């Protein structure tokens, strides 16, 4: 078991359909992942926080020697366990805000398009702190999420939806133990890349 559970997000039917669609998978593969992690060295033992329907996991499976994907939704986790059985991906049903992996375990961490489903800023900060804790000093953390706008709020009606203001991310990630924080954005989303700081 990779973590204890402290929450489980609500996701509406339209959102479920969109996140499991071929169109979203193509966007993830061709646009989002290259934009966020193109050229980065995440190492050979990476943790993915909140894979959801696995669109990102499908791509990272091909890019990385070893991937541990932590998913809080029991049904989604079970589907991913079945799908990635016998591959270089280990799927764990668990909560990214309360991981039980050892300190300094992973060589990299990724968190794609899921932070807005973490129900409070305080829990989001716990996720950042947990990502920092399980990373080796100097390891990279790469994250992305959508920018808040009225259309996105309509799309997330009846969802757990707590968008992250990218203007706050540098301070929040530094408090969690990261250094060299770099934030960028395009018209639709933000990305953050940072390194886990030294423990000495």
Domains identified in the chain and CATH numbers:
13-196 (3.40.50.150)
Q: What is the pLDDT of residue 8?
A: 53
Chain segment 89-104, per-residue pLDDT in tens: 999 999 999 999 999 9
What ranges make up the beta strands (E) of the chain?
46-49, 67-71, 89-93, 106-112, 135-146, 178-185, 189-196
Q: What is the pLDDT of residue 20?
A: 66
Would you call 144 exposed, middle or buried from its count of C-beta atoms within 10 A (0-12, 13-18, 19+)? Answer: buried
Q: What is the pLDDT of residue 159?
A: 78
Q: What is the pLDDT of residue 121?
A: 97
Closest-CA residue to 131 (of 110, 113, 158, 115): 110
Q: Cβ neighbours of residue 170 under 8 Å, at least 6 residues apart?
A: 181, 183
Structure tokens at 39: 């050229």
Using 50 as the pLDDT threshold, list the residues of the chain that sit under it: 1, 4
């Amino acid at each position: 078991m990779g973590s204890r559970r402290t929450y489980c997000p609500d996701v509406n039917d339209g959102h479920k359909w969109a996140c499991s669609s071929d169109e979203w998978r193509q966007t993830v593969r061709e646009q989002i992942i290259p934009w966020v992690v193109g050229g980065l060295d995440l190492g050979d033992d990476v943790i993915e926080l909140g894979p959801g329907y696995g669109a990102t996991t499908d791509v990272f499976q091909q890019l990385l020697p070893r991937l541990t994907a932590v998913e809080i939704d029991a049904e989604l986790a079970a589907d991913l366990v079945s799908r990635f059985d016998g591959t270089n991906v280990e799927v764990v049903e668990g909560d990214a805000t309360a991981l039980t992996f050892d300190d300094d375990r992973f060589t990299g961490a990724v968190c794609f398009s899921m932070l807005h489903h973490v129900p409070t800023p305080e829990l989001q900060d716990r996720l950042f702190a947990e990502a920092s804790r399980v990373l080796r000093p100097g390891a990279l953390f790469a994250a992305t999420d959508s920018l808040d706008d009225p259309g996105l709020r309509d799309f997330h009606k009846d969802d757990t939806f707590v968008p992250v203001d990218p203007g706050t991310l540098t301070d929040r990630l530094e408090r969690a133990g990261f250094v060299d924080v770099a934030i960028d954005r395009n018209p639709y989303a933000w990305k953050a890349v940072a390194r886990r700081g030294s423990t000495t």
